[in-house]
Amino acid sequence: MGNYARGRTGYNRNDDYYTPRWIFAALNAKFDLDVCAPTGGVAWIPADNYFDIETDALKQEWYGFVWCNPPYSDASPFINKFIDHGNGIMLVQLSKSKGFMRLWNEADAMCMLPRDIKFEHKDDGRKDIFMPVGLFAMGSKAKMHLELSGINKVR
């Protein structure tokens, strides 16, 4: 949930939570692009390139195998672009939004993350979030990484 939403909807401190390192270790995947990175990227995210607030992923063409942990204050546009791209893994909160319902119905695979997951915060260490989150895979490569991760049951 990088600080990506800052330029789109005004700064929202609740979006400054980053994916825990153990998720990337479990996925054992290398990504071509992190589409929701904070300025300067995140050192432990295994992506060759990233889009941050200045490069605005929603205005760019996504390429290759993508990682997406969108700002939860406005995840739907990222969910829709992720589905349309069709190649990557997304970490997102479960919600009743139209975007999430589309993801639920179109993802090639998904798994829930532990209810006590702790995210990294740039200033405040590790933090809980109040909502359930899951990993969603688009494409056969993403599905394979999710299935081999051992994080949780994959559907």
Q: Is the pLDDT of residue 4 over 60?
A: no
Q: Could you report the per-residue pLDDT of 50-105, keeping only the tens digit for each?
A: 999 899 999 999 999 999 999 988 899 999 999 999 999 999 999 888 999 999 99
Domain covering 3-149 in this structure, CATH number: 3.40.50
Q: Is the pTM higher than 0.85?
A: yes
Closest to 2 (Cα-Cα) out of 73, 62, 58, 60: 73
Where is average pLDDT lowest: 5-9, 27-31, 67-71, 136-140? 5-9
User: pLDDT value at position 123?
Assistant: 60
Beta bridge partners of 138: 88
